[in-house]
Amino acid sequence: MTTTVVEQQLEQVYTERIDAVEKLTLRGRRPRDIGHNARIGTHGPRLSDPVVRLRTAGGGWGIGWSTLKEEEAEALIGRTVGELFRMPEGATAIGSRVDLPLWDLVARLLDLPLFRLLGARGSRRVPVYDASIYIDDLELDDAGAQDLFTKEVEDGQSHGYHHFKVKVGRGARWMAPDTGLARDALVVQTVRRAAGEAAHVMIDANMGNTYNSACDMLLACAPANIYWFEEPFPEDRPLNLALKEFIEENGLRTLVADGEFAPPPYFFDLVEEALIDVVQQDFHAYGLTWWRATAARIESFAGRCAPHTWGSYIDRYPHAHFAASIANYELLEAAPAHVPGLIDDGWSLVDGCLVVPETPGCGFDVEPKIFEQALMTGDAWLVSKR
């Protein structure tokens, strides 16, 4: 489909009116309890996603993650798609609360997979990593920890994952600093052995370091060839500069990833100065409209995109379309889980990569009975044109 044809069809799409909005909470379960990170206690096995569906008077629909409130949905009824969304930018200020459902809606109305609407500059084979290796070993000795994390990697591999991110920072809260660092290094090296030399192994400290302890962490984990170090400490130009110098002086090739938690106003200055390599603001909290603009912004100074998606299952679908649309993408954060009622349309996980389908929109849906059951239990609502 040519650009001119899409532009002509968009003008028709913009005239469609929203005549119903549905919302439910989609619930799932991970294969095991998820433990601690450097700051926060156990996360448990459950996950949930707030899902909004927009329907148009012409029969179109789009679905995606949103925390839209029922009273906010009332204000969308009767609005045209063109009031809520405009290419090439995406969601307008009025439509920002339903950013992801809008992108899905517009792509479906154009009968396009979302990544093609977004430009299709990347690969449809999007590498994913298992982000569920948390601090699960506080009651174990070293041998027990090695057995546990070997099994966790094997579990991830059995679900199709090749790459792994490991929570570190036991010495920030859960163990004495020296003991925690030694256990962090043991776990990371265990994961490396189990994952194999071809795997990317990342570490995530959730801001649980000083500059000095971050350097100690890098040296202790160096034999495992760490791909990136995520959230080593709160962003700070002098410290980030010193960390980059330390990495270079010690012959390490580890990238620095950050941006998920309360980034400072000068965050993108750090990216432009190559003090942060991988940008990780949350995918659904910031939205695809923001991420599309951000990817273009940081590409000019070699910044890479790897949005935070932990806690959501359905984020992987629009996230993978985004990855397939840009040239400066890294890895997609995910983890094994089972979500009853979720329909994925054409997706596959092949050789550690999520393969983006050519089906319209984001390529996922929710079984109607799940919404109907949620309505009966008060776990869903529907706002429609009266």
User: Residue 361 in contact with residue 3, Cβ under 8 Å?
Assistant: no
pLDDT digits (tens, 9 = 90+) for 151-190: 999 999 999 999 999 999 999 999 999 999 999 999 999 9
pLDDT digits (tens, 9 = 90+) for 314-367: 999 999 999 999 999 999 999 999 999 999 999 999 999 999 999 999 999 999
Nearest to 352 by CA among 161, 125, 132: 161
| CA–CA separation, 346 and 326 (whole Å) | 21
Helices (H), the chain: 3-13, 70-74, 81-84, 99-109, 114-117, 142-158, 170-173, 177-195, 211-221, 237-249, 267-272, 283-299, 316-323, 368-377
Please measure the distance between the N-terminal and C-terminal CA atoms of the chain and give it in whole angstroms. Answer: 37
Quote the DSSP letter at residue 180: H
pLDDT digits (tens, 9 = 90+) for 297-313: 999 999 999 999 999 99
Q: Which domains can be identified in the chain, with CATH numbers?
A: 3-113+365-384 (3.30.390.10), 125-363 (3.20.20.120)
Lookup: tokens for 115: 């990544």
pTM: 0.97
Please write down the long-range contacts of 151-154, taking CB distance under 8 Å and 24 or more positions apart.
152/32, 153/191, 153/194, 153/195, 154/194
User: Residue 351 in contact with residue 162, Cβ under 8 Å?
Assistant: yes
